[in-house]
Amino acid sequence: MKRVFGSSWTLLLAVVLISHVACGGGEQAAAPAPEPASTPPPAAAPVDRSQMELLSANQSATQTTITIVGQVKNVSSREVMGVAVSVNFQDADGNSVRVEQGNLATDPLPPNETSEFRITTPYSANIRRFAVSFAELFGGPLIMKDSRTQ
């Protein structure tokens, strides 16, 4: 039997060693130490993105109608136009009885200015409360801050 230790054997050994090292064999670098748990930064104060501020909304009723008269302020930095006022008249459980819409008395409404609104609906003994919202024509709902004093 003849032993082969020539250049082909050396070449084969070199390929095996290189493959072993390239695949992660041999000495391995120490794993990096885990980073200490960092405490999250303190929560920033919430940013008020309100566009309209509901200042008042008062209900009055007769035997035939319920009327909501209110005042709203444009607290955004831009003029709002075509603002629709929606009043969702609800029963004692908060279920909608009907929704009525109207407009602001002042249109367009410049920044930092106020406007009155008035919404009337037929009287119903089921109506116990209401919710007011605002939307701008072609602009969608306006974010409202409710500042009514109870």
Domains delineated in the chain: 52-146 (2.60.40.10)
Which has more confidence, 24 or 105? 105
Whole-angstrom distance, CA of residue 21 vs CA of residue 38 = 36
List the strands of the sheet with 96-103, edge to edge: 96-103, 83-90, 129-136, 140-142
Mean of all residue pLDDT scores within the chain: 82
| Residue-wise pLDDT tens digits, 56-84 | 999 999 999 999 999 999 999 999 999 99
Annotate 98-150 with DSSP letters as a single string: EEEEEEBSSSSB-TT-EEEEEEEEE--TT--EEEEEEEETTTEEEPEEE----
pLDDT score of 16: 44
Residue 87 · residue 52 · CB < 8 Å: no
Please tell me the distance from the alpha carbon of residue 66 to that of residue 19, in angstroms, as a whole number: 86
Q: Does residue 125 or residue 138 have the better pLDDT?
A: 125
The pLDDT value given to residue 31: 53
For residue 25, pLDDT over 70 is answered with no
User: How many Cα atoms within 13 Å fall on the side-chain side of residue 148?
Assistant: 14
28 or 68, higher pLDDT: 68
Q: At 59, phi and psi to the nearest 5?
A: -100, 135
Is the peptide bond between 108 and the residue preceding it cis, with omega within 30 degrees of 0? yes
Position with higher pLDDT, 49 vs 12: 49
Model pTM? 0.68
